[in-house]
Amino acid sequence: MYAAIKRTYCILHSNYLPEFVMASPFKLHIDSGIALYVGRNIQTKLHTHHAVEIVIAFNKPFLISRNGSEFEKSDCSIIAADLAHQFEGQDDFYIFLYFDAELQLAQQLEQKLKLNKDGIIHYFGEEIETARKDFILCFQSDSFDENTAISIIQNLLLAVTGEAPENNGTETRITEAIQLIQSSLHSEISLENIASAVFLSESRFAHLFKEQIGIPFRRYVLWCRMQAALKAVLEGKSFTEAAYEGGFADLAHLSRTFTHMFGVSPSDVLKQ
């Protein structure tokens, strides 16, 4: 159970993270499927990413918008994958959880909470208050316990959905295609080659991929490239090196993609 969460590794006390403008160090868990982030003074532009997102305020509520003009106040919001949204926080810390939309637990969140219909829902229940307090205690402690953070995520998902994640139901050939994509980010990735590798026609593969994953093939490849580039930056590599690690054509391509996905330009938040 929660195998995807247990694969997470930990990076602490870096200075910057994409999507957010902030004024102090943050704490982060990140893996190919799940990221957990805590930071403060966060403002974004309207942006879209391929992940179900949960945001929880430490103390001060935040504002969130679907269109950049009409904002709703919230202490906790759950946001559907691939939904354009904008976040405005106060001088406070905020907890962000990201679950890649192809993960079974993300699909369960969307189905259980009907996120495809509502887009964004707000929580004020006791299950959120418990998780909020647990996160604050965890991230304010001098000794950071990764297992504690994992346990909080598990309990939060159980509380919100009322059930444990099931085994991933993705079709075997699409699972194989995802593995091929993630192992080939340094090279050119074409729909034709990946479809051939899993013994499907291009048209059948494109249809099945979008049906199973929820977004078109090329858009998903960009999402994987961005995650690889983010990991490289967090490891201390330059943006030029990160562009290479993610397989982007050049730094400008990385910058454009970054801004679209996270609502701010990389030069604004990841200053070298």
The percentage of residues in the chain with a pLDDT greater than 90, rounded to a whole number, is 28
What is the pLDDT, as a whole number, of residue 54? 92
Q: Alpha-carbon distance 225 to 186, whole Å?
A: 9
Residue length of the chain: 272
pLDDT score of 3 more than 50: no
101 versus 57: which is more confidently predicted? 57
The CA–CA distances, whole Å, from 120 to 55, 80, 149, 176, 214 equal 11, 6, 24, 32, 17
E strand or H helix that includes residue 11: strand 9-14
pLDDT score of 246 more than 60: yes
pLDDT score of 236 more than 70: yes
What is the pLDDT, as a whole number, of residue 71? 95
Highest mean pLDDT out of 129-143, 208-222, 242-256: 242-256
User: The tokens 């990385």 sit on which residue?
Assistant: 254
220 versus 104: which is more confidently predicted? 220
103 versus 194: which is more confidently predicted? 194
Q: What is the mean pLDDT of the chain?
A: 78
What is the pLDDT averaged over residues 56-85?
Answer: 93
Query: Where are the chain's structural domains?
Result: 3-161, 172-269
CATH number of 3-161: 2.60.120.10
Tell me the per-residue pLDDT of 133-164, one tens digit each, with 9 for 90 and over: 888 887 777 655 566 777 787 788 887 777 66
Q: Alpha-carbon distance 25 to 37, whole Å?
A: 11
- Phi/psi of residue 100, nearest 5 degrees: -50, 135
CA atoms in the 13 A half-sphere facing the CB of 141? 12
pLDDT score of 186 more than 90: no
pLDDT score of 80 more than 90: yes
User: Any idea which of 10-19, 72-81, 137-146, 182-191 has the lowest mean pLDDT?
Assistant: 10-19
The backbone region for 75, taken as left when phi is positive above 0, alpha when psi lies in -120 to 50, beta otherwise, is: alpha
What is the pLDDT, as a whole number, of residue 166? 58
The percentage of residues in the chain with a pLDDT greater than 70, rounded to a whole number, is 79
Adjacent-strand bridge partners of 14: 26
What is the pLDDT averaged over residues 74-88?
Answer: 93
CATH number of 172-269: 1.10.10.60
Beta strands in 41-125 (DSSP E): 51-57, 62-65, 71-74, 76-79, 86-88, 93-100, 120-122
What is the pLDDT, as a whole number, of residue 162? 75
SS3 64: strand
